[in-house]
Amino acid sequence: MPMRSSILLAGVENLTDTWTVAGRTFTSRLIVGTGKYKDFEQNAAAVEASGAEIVTVAVRRVNISDPNQPMLMDFIDPKKITYLPNTAGCFTAEEAIRTLRLAREAGGWDLVKLEVLGEAKTLYPDMRETLRATETLVKEGFLPMVYCVDDPIAAKQLEEAGAVAIMPLGAPIGSGLGIQNLVTIRLIVEGANVPVLVDAGVGTASDAAVAMELGCDGVLMNTAIAEAKNPVTMARAMKLAVESGRLAYLSGRMAKRRYADPSSPLAGLI
Amino acid sequence: MSLDGTAGVIINGEHRRVPAKTSLAQLIAEVGLDPLRVAVERNLEIVPRSTFDQVMVEDGDAYEIVHFVGGG
């Protein structure tokens, strides 16, 4: 029997584990970025190896001096992979909204990723601007997946404002530090009625597994794959880690104890 | 409109001169872009792709023409 890349739920043959955001259902729980790669070929190979069905993309000016430069769409087909336009680089609600209006016009996408940054040094989100932008975008019919601080109250406020997914940082963007606050990520997961995806901070496969073991619906990453020595094999490692973490979460981990508990029976010792 | 009958416009921050009565669709083609892959803002207002043929370029217009690039 051919093995699907998705997880088969234990004991339930052929029932795949999917997740749904704003009415759209996906099998892969890994969303990958398309920045920082050596070239488009490597980027496309990494996306393929990651199994991702969604990629984040940025909206930028066309280089009108050299309009024949290769374009992302020539390498990653938006008919096969869902493009998630992102507002990375925007520092105000207005900039982010303007960017997403253009994105919608360029590709017709209403499922978007909102990120409004507070400062260049930490790239921490400005939550006041983020919330304001979320409200406007929702009024305009967008379905924003929102990058945010790992704060359960802020997450709730975003959800109430109409965010279709909550995407707390695990650590600063591009830092590769791994998830710094397991407690707050878990609190957000427990409180949310929309998907929660860790966005930013993952450095290696175990970080992605941790996010999934906490019960997150998915993980979004860019630098951890793009800046690996071998991005394509790291993409595969991330795919396996996300699936592995998800399966561990569904399986229900054992309780932790302070002391040892022998695996072999004590009775019948010679 | 200038004396030579051309219109001066700014595209992505660069000055360009185009013949009078140029449509936005012609402008995009002139620059060498595929209209299906870009979005256009004219004087800070989005121009729906379906109207590229009808929108006439005016002297002093400022355009932003964007597309998708790799990003996180």
Q: What is the DSSP string of A36-78?
A: S-SSHHHHHHHHHHHT-SEEEEEEEE--TTSTTS--HHHHS-T
For residue A133, is pLDDT > 90? yes
Residues 85-104 of A with CB under 8 A from B: 85-86, 88, 98, 101-104
Instruction: Tell me which chain A residues have a C-beta less than 8 angstroms from the C-beta of B68.
Output: 57-59, 71-73, 83, 85, 103, 106-107
Using a CB-CB cut-off of 8 Å, the residues of chain B touching A101 are 46
Q: Is A262 left (phi over 0), alpha (psi -120 to 50) or beta?
A: beta
pLDDT at A3: 45
pLDDT at A134: 98
Which of A12-26, A115-129, A148-162 shows the lowest per-residue confidence on average (mean pLDDT)?
A: A12-26
> Cα separation of A264 and A99, whole Å?
61
Alpha carbon of B60: minimum distance to chain A alpha carbons (Å): 18
- How would residue B1 be classed by pLDDT, with cut points 50, 70 and 90? low
- Dist CA A173 CA A26 (whole Å): 24
Instruction: Write down the ipTM of this complex.
Output: 0.89
Retrieve residue A151's tokens.
Answer: 């704060």
User: pLDDT, tens digit, for every residue of A222-243?
Assistant: 999 999 999 999 999 999 999 9
Query: Does residue B6 contact residue B19 with C-beta atoms inside 8 Å?
Result: yes
- Strand B6-11 relative to strand B62-70: parallel, antiparallel, unpaired? parallel
Picking from B14, B66, B71, the nearest residue to A86 by CB comes out as: B71
Q: Which residue of B has its CA nearest to A101?
A: B46
Reported as a single tens digit per residue, the pLDDT across A45-70 is 999 999 999 999 999 999 888 878 88
- Identify the weakest region by mean pLDDT among A11-25, A47-61, A118-132: A11-25
Interface check A43 vs B, CB under 8 A? yes
What are A158-185's pLDDT values in tens digits?
999 999 999 999 999 999 999 999 999 9
Mean pLDDT for chain A overall: 92
A247 burial type by CB count under 10 A (0-12 exposed, 13-18 middle, 19+ buried): middle
Flag whether residue A223 sits within 8 Å of chain B, measured between CB atoms: yes
Residue A161 neighbours by CB under 8 Å, 6+ apart = A131, A134, A135, A138
R_g of chain A computed on alpha carbons: 20
Taking 80 as the threshold, does the pLDDT of residue A216 lie above it? Answer: yes
Tell me how far apart the alpha carbons of residues B33 and A178 are, in angstroms, rounded to a whole number: 41
